[in-house]
Amino acid sequence: MGRFGKIIFWIITLSVLFIIVAPLAWIYLTAFKSPNDIFTTDVKKLVFFKFTSENFQRLFREFPFWPNFVNTIIISTTSTLVVLAISALAAYSFARWNTGRGHLLFTTISTRMFPGVVAAIPFFVLYRNLGLLDTRFGLTLLHIYFNTSFATFLLYGFFKEIPEELEQAAMIDGYSRVDIFRKIVMPLVRPGLAVTAVFCLVWSWNEFLFSFLFTRVAARPVTVLISSFWGSIEVQYGPMAAGAAIAILPTLVIAWFMQRYIIRGLTFGAVKG
């Protein structure tokens, strides 16, 4: 790559990065703008404006931001842990023995092929009868349900990577199936678990539709709060951006530190490296 090639390389790369980062930066800039600076046609105001913290103040004072944030944390982490447990067991079964000859695996994955909106109505009726509406427990169950398919698929790829010889050797040594799973296979698949955990956590964190329909006040996560700034006359972009700025921060932080894992997950271990 000559000099010229390098310049082209960086021009393209930086342009791509700009396209990616600019809208997200807009969120953080808008969070500190007053309404006049948001609804202006002055291009300078995009970047240069008077900082104000009124959006955040309003967010914390008039809306239950922190309780909602706590809800999000509890629901995401709990559902992720449970999903990992269920999916790990199932994925191991599929990977090692091809249980159900691929049909069960396909069925699991196809849960994501059903339009979520329509599943919501029978669930709503069921939840009403069970008193699960507006409870963190209820919403967590739903999140567990819709994350399991992808988690199973991901972990399937990771489990398949583990050589059978290892397990066979252990069996000869007298380990039971359970011990093999617990002591030999699981430790090897830890990076896969990490990746899956990240995805499930992020998707649960960002989930909107079910969170919106199944919670009201008590169990409301923060994504629903952010969407509620959408009015019939005006969208209150200030507090919305402020809420979004805080809400997406954890996912950004995770992304930064877990990059390698995330990318590995994206390639489902189908590619070595």
Partner 1 sequence: MREEITYGTVAGYGLTRKSTIWETLTSERYFKWTLLIPLIILLGIFMVYPLLYCAYYSFHQWGMRGDALYVGAQNYRQLLNDKAFLESLYQTFKVLIICIVCELLIGLGLALLWSREFRGENVVRGLALLPLLVAPLILSLLWNFMFEYDFGAVNIVLQSLGLNKIYWWSPERALYSICFITIWQWFPFATFVLVAGLRSLPKDVFEAARVDGASPWYTFRRLTLPMLSPLIMIVVVLRTMWLIRLFDPLYGTTRGGVQTELLDWMVYRTAFIYFDIGYGSTMAIFSLVLTMAICAIMFRILMKALGGTK
Partner 2 sequence: MKRNEIRWIIGIAMVVVFSFGLVFSGFAQEKFGLKNIPEIKNKKAINMMVETGAAWDKVIEYIKQFETATGVKVNIERVASPVVYSKENVELMAGTGYYDVVYVETSWTCEWSDYLFNLEELAAQYDPNGVAGFQEDIQNISPVLLRCGQAYGEQKVLPFYTYHMGMFIRQDVYDDPTEQANFKAKYGYDLKPPATEKELYDQAEFFTRKKGELLKGQPLEHDLYGVAMMAGAYQINDEISCRIWGKGGDYATVVRNEDGSLKEFVITAKDKEILKEALTEYKNLLKFAPAGCLTANFDFACAQQGEGYAIIQPHQFASLFTWTADLLKQHVPDGRLGVYPTIGGQPYTGAWSLGVAKASKNPEAAYWLVRYISSYELQKVLMKEGGQFSARMDLLLDPEFHTPETEYPLGLTCSYLVDVWKNQAPYVDNYWYFNTRAGGKVYEMQMNALHKPMADQVTIDECVQEVVAKTIELTSKFDTVPIREE
Q: How far is the CB of 24 from partner 1 (least distance, A)?
A: 6
> Which of the listed partners (partner 1, partner 2, none) does 232 bind, with a CB threshold of 5 to 8 Å by partner kind?
partner 2
Q: Which is nearer to partner 2, 61 or 103 (CB)?
A: 61
Pair of tokens at residue 108 = 């699991």
- Cβ distance to partner 2 smaller for residue 6 or 216: 216
Tell me how many degrees the CA angle 210-217-143 measures, rounded to the nearest 5: 25
Q: 232 φ, ψ to 5°?
A: -85, -25
Taking alpha carbons only, the member of 64, 68, 38, 63 closest to residue 52 is 38
Choice between 5 and 115, CB closer to partner 2: 115
Q: Determine if 227 is a binding residue for partner 2 (CB under 8 A).
A: yes
205 and 250 Cβ atoms separated by less than 8 Å: yes
| Distances in whole angstroms, Cα of residue 157 to Cα of each of 106, 189, 204 | 14, 10, 22
> Measured from the CB of residue 216, what is the shortest distance to partner 1 in angstroms?
16
Q: In the beta sheet, which residues pair with residue 235?
A: 230
Cβ-proximal residues to 162 (8 Å cutoff; 6+ apart), any chain: 95, 185, 188, 189
| Residue 236 touches which member of partner 2, partner 1, none, C-beta under 5-8 Å by kind | partner 2
**Six-digit token string for 259:** 């990059």
Nearest approach in angstroms of CB 234 to partner 2 is: 7
CB 62, min distance to partner 1, A = 19
Q: Select from 6, 50, 112, 128 the one that contacts partner 2 (CB under 8 A).
A: 128
From CA 54, how far away is CA 31, in angstroms rounded?
Answer: 9
Contacts 24+ apart (CB under 8 A), 121-129: 123/210, 123/214, 124/213, 124/214, 127/214
User: Taking CB under 8 A as the rule, does residue 230 contact partner 2?
Assistant: yes
Task: Give whichever of 22 and 121 is closer to partner 2, judged by the CB atom.
Answer: 121
Sole binder of partner 2 in the list 52, 77, 135, 228 (CB under 8 A): 228
Q: Give the residue, chosen from 155, 213, 245, 247, that forms a contact with partner 2 under the rule CB under 8 A.
A: 213
217 contact, one of partner 1, partner 2, none, CB 5-8 Å limit per kind? partner 2
CB of 30 to partner 2, least distance (A): 17
Residues engaged in binding partner 2 (CB under 8 A): 62-63, 121, 124-125, 128, 133-134, 212-213, 216-217, 227-236
